[in-house]
């Protein structure tokens, strides 16, 4: 499993994909937080906070994470190496987890440079250190869990097709629906008193909750459940080849 994990990491950085993902993520968030005259611009907002990062990052992840994960299994199927991979002395679950942790590691690598935003605001604030550090790091946990959920969805999407573009489209559509779809449905009054239950099925409700800096057990369980569900569906998809 460790060897496959290292191979996946090497694949990310031996091609231009890993670098492009990190650069695009940092470029987009940096421009919106420091350059563009928008509401979340740190310098114009007048408050020592980086909430804008946690507001815009999920929408960037909606496209970048599927771009990372789309080739996980789709490329293996297209090139025919999937059969060779699955005959190795590794269980399907270990193969899936190796690919998941490789993509997750790339996500963490992309997020680490954003800590410069935090330290910049920390030292630029008046008085120095006038920033809700607990809230910021709670939001980072929410963002990491959100990214993990999108990665699991991306792996599942890649496992059901041999076309990377199709895998990308499916991953974006699924991630967008689970992130915003239930929130959109909640706006209608079709479900009456059950509206809050519908809302709680979506990632957005739990992400905004954990982004306040409060680590509620229910939110943690929700994210871990979403990740586990799609990893299980990926395993089920791979096992279906034996039928």
Tell me, what's the pLDDT at 166? 94
What whole-number percentage of the chain has pLDDT above 90? 43
In this predicted model, what pLDDT tens digit does every residue of 107-125 receive, in sequence order?
999 999 999 999 888 887 7
Q: Are 180 and 202 in contact (CB under 8 A)?
A: yes
Exposure b/e, 120-145, CB count within 10 A at least 16 = b: ebbeeeeeeeebeeebbebbbbbbeb
Using the predicted structure, report yes or no on whether residue 22 has a pLDDT greater than 80.
Answer: yes
Contacts of 242 (CB under 8 A, 6+ apart): none
Q: Quick check: helix, strand or coil at residue 145?
A: helix
Domain ranges of the chain: 2-242
Tell me, what's the pLDDT at 86? 67
Which DSSP string do the residues of 158-223 spell out, in sequence order?
A: HHT-S-HHHHHHHHHHHHHIIIIIHHHHHTSSTTGGGHHHHHHTSHHHHHHHHTTT---HHHHHHH
Tell me, what's the pLDDT at 242? 58
In this predicted model, what pLDDT tens digit does every residue of 182-226 receive, in sequence order?
888 777 756 666 667 788 889 998 998 888 777 889 999 999 999
Q: Which two tokens stand for residue 163?
A: 């076309």
Q: Which two tokens stand for residue 130?
A: 């006038």
Q: Which residue has tokens 């939110």? A: 219
Tell me, what's the pLDDT at 170? 96
Report which of residues 193 and 128 the model is more confident about.
Answer: 128
Q: Which two tokens stand for residue 25?
A: 């993520």
Count Cα atoms within 13 angstroms, Cβ side, for 191: 13
pLDDT band for position 127 (cuts 50, 70, 90): confident
Tell me, what's the pLDDT at 198? 80
pTM of the shown model: 0.92
Q: What is the mean pLDDT of the chain?
A: 86
Q: How far apart are CA 76 and CA 230, in angstroms?
A: 19
In this predicted model, what pLDDT tens digit does every residue of 44-93 receive, in sequence order?
766 668 888 898 999 999 999 999 999 888 887 777 777 677 666 778 88
Please tell me the total number of residues recorded for the chain in this structure. 243
Using the predicted structure, report yes or no on whether residue 243 has a pLDDT greater than 60.
Answer: no
């Amino acid at each position: 499993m460790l060897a496959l994990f290292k191979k996946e990491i090497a694949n990310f950085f031996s091609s231009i994909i890993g670098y492009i993902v990190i650069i695009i993520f940092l470029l987009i968030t940096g421009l919106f937080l420091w350059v563009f005259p928008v509401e979340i611009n740190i310098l114009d907002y007048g408050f020592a906070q980086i909430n804008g990062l946690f507001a815009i990052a999920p929408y960037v992840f909606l496209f970048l994470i599927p771009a990372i994960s789309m080739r996980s299994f789709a490329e293996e199927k297209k090139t025919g190496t999937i059969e060779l991979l699955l005959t190795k002395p590794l269980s399907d679950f270990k193969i899936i987890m190796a690919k998941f942790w490789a993509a997750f590691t790339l996500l963490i690598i992309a997020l680490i440079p954003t800590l410069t935003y935090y330290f910049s605001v920390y030292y630029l604030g008046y008085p120095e250190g006038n920033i809700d550090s607990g809230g910021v790091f709670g939001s980072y946990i929410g963002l990491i869990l959100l990214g993990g959920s999108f990665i699991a969805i991306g792996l599942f999407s890649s496992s059901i097709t041999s076309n990377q573009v199709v895998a990308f489209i499916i991953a974006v559509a699924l991630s967008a629906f689970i992130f915003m779809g239930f929130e959109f449905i909640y706006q209608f009054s079709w479900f009456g008193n059950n509206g809050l239950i519908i809302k709680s099925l979506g990632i957005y409700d739990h992400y905004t909750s954990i982004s306040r800096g409060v680590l509620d057990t229910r939110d943690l369980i929700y994210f871990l459940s979403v990740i586990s569900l799609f990893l299980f569906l990926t395993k089920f998809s791979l096992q279906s080849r034996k039928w």
